[in-house]
Amino acid sequence: MSLMTGKEYIESLRKLNLKVYMFGKPVENPVDDPILSPSVNSVRMTYDMAQMPQHQELMTAMSPFTGERVNRFTHIHESTQDLVNKVKMQRLLGQKTASCFQRCVGMDAFNAVFSTTFEIDQAHGTSYHENFRRFVAMCQKQDLVVDGAMTDPKGDRSLPPHKQPDPDMYLRVVERRPDGIVVRGAKAHQTGMCNSHEVLVMPTVAMSPEDRDYAVSFSVPTDAEGIYIIIGRQSCDTRKLENSSLDVGNVEFGGVEALVVFDDVFVPNDRIFMNGETEFATMLVERFSGYHRQSYGGCKVGVGDVLIGASALVADYNGVPKASHIKDKLIEMIHLNETMYSCGIACSAEGTKTPSGSYLIDLLLANVCKQNVTRFPYEIARLAEDIAGGFVVTAPSEADLHGEFTGPWVNKYLMGNASVSTENRMRILRLIETLCMGSASVGYLTESLHGAGSPQAQRVMIARQGNLEHKKELAKTIAHIVD
């Protein structure tokens, strides 16, 4: 088996013994929980669309490991076309879900660890790359969702891992045994962990030799003994408990984040991909960050397409689609959205082959892509709220719309364009609210800012890779300057 259906994916989640906590209590059935199930639906789309012939080129790829067609989310990039198709796939899924579909981090971790383990083995004679190739083949054959886990809580950020007052602020090896290692710590902001079969752990910062215990990469099943998933709060999340499709905004889809605790988790030797090679931590972090910053030129653009469409609709419903300032705002939203997409495509087209044979994006352009993503979605959201008007945050509830006493008044006074029902106008307002301020804004705005590293992290990389000395020489040549 290489490609599961969406239904088979959901059934595979039911077989997991995940330890999930929300609101201080264990969640017995995460798959069907009303707050969590929209995030399951988003991942399901990555399976359902892979079954559709019209999306086969984007959603799937031929694997050299299995000889079969596999989901692109488990694929190792073999060309710049693979990198381009990845971004196009992410935009498509963003359009279909208007949310985070949660598999990008695992895909980006796959590719970063693949090439880095090859180079560790070249330097140290280890067998990490072979371990990882077997892991990739297993995930492809079983069509698994892999949660990429990089971000540590970090504690006091002025101190390196080995100087933290609490040594568990960065995930670390606490015991080395003949058959494997035992790890302790936590990973924060974990996208889709409760909807994943496997977790792929990576270090989160550059490390010195003193940080040896923290330079660790490995994989274990998400229901491994000692793993606990604590679900993060999202704005308006409990609206999903109210049985109101209108008030939720995005009725079917959503994202989920979590704090994941590793409480003395055992990792067998064949699941270890780095164990103390501190000099390669920077390579792994930079490659993963680059891949993930590329991703945002696809997924956030797809969600932006939905928000732009909602803004154009609400202008229709408000009766102002021909107003010149409305047209100009929609044009600006499209311009910003396509600029982000252009950067995602550019860093893909300019990718290069690594010593392992896999392809890496252009790291400078990937960081430029993400730097734009930290800004442009906020301006797109501001313009969307501007076009929508005040009712985007002051509209009554669905219960008021249908209330015996309040309903006639809400229907009367929230009417816009007479050809559009008040309910439909409220539905599009709620979608805009959800994308800009509600639970979906986690996967659009806040994730655009902090996902794959904060804005300053990209600026550090841009400064490092911008090659100013080369640019100085260009200027000297044109100006006929001789030192």
In the chain, what are the domain boundaries?
6-282, 290-474
Per the CB < 8 A criterion, the answer to whether 449 and 398 are in contact is: no
Question: How confident is the model at residue 307, as a pLDDT?
Answer: 98
100 as an active site residue: the answer is yes
Q: Where does the pLDDT of residue 29 fall: very low under 50, low under 70, confident under 90, or very high at 90 and above?
A: very high
% of the chain surpassing 90 pLDDT: 96
- The residue from 170, 296, 317, 444 that is catalytic is 296
- The residue from 9, 75, 100, 151 that is catalytic is 100
Question: How confident is the model at residue 101, as a pLDDT?
Answer: 96
- The residue from 60, 116, 191, 374 that is catalytic is 191
Q: What is the pTM of this model?
A: 0.96
- The residue from 198, 277, 385, 447 that is catalytic is 447
- The residue from 257, 277, 385, 433 that is catalytic is 257
296 as an active site residue: the answer is yes
User: Are 6-282 and 290-474 the same fold in CATH?
Assistant: no
- The residue from 299, 343, 347, 436 that is catalytic is 299
Average pLDDT over residues 30-36: 97
Average pLDDT over residues 204-225: 97
Q: What is the mean pLDDT of the chain?
A: 97
Question: How confident is the model at residue 435, as a pLDDT?
Answer: 96
Question: How confident is the model at residue 1, as a pLDDT?
Answer: 57
pLDDT score of 224 more than 80: yes
Question: How confident is the model at residue 387, as a pLDDT?
Answer: 98
| Tokens read off for 380 | 């797109």
Rounded Cα gap, residues 440 and 384, in angstroms? 15
Average pLDDT over residues 280-284: 98
Rounded Cα gap, residues 70 and 56, in angstroms? 10
Rounded Cα gap, residues 431 and 307, in angstroms? 8
Per the CB < 8 A criterion, the answer to whether 6 and 43 are in contact is: no
Q: Where does the pLDDT of residue 438 fall: very low under 50, low under 70, confident under 90, or very high at 90 and above?
A: confident
191 as an active site residue: the answer is yes
Question: How confident is the model at residue 238, as a pLDDT?
Answer: 94
Q: Where does the pLDDT of residue 334 fall: very low under 50, low under 70, confident under 90, or very high at 90 and above?
A: very high
Question: How confident is the model at residue 439, as a pLDDT?
Answer: 82
Q: Is 397 exposed, middle or buried (0-12, 13-18, 19+ CB in 10 A)?
A: middle
**What CATH number has the domain spanning 6-282?**
2.40.110.10
Rounded Cα gap, residues 402 and 91, in angstroms? 36
Average pLDDT over residues 91-101: 97
385 as an active site residue: the answer is no
436 as an active site residue: the answer is no
> 290-474 has which fold?
Butyryl-CoA Dehydrogenase, subunit A; domain 3 (1.20.140)
Name the helix (H) or strand (E) containing 113. Answer: helix 104-124
- The residue from 77, 104, 317, 444 that is catalytic is 104
- The residue from 292, 374, 398, 436 that is catalytic is 292
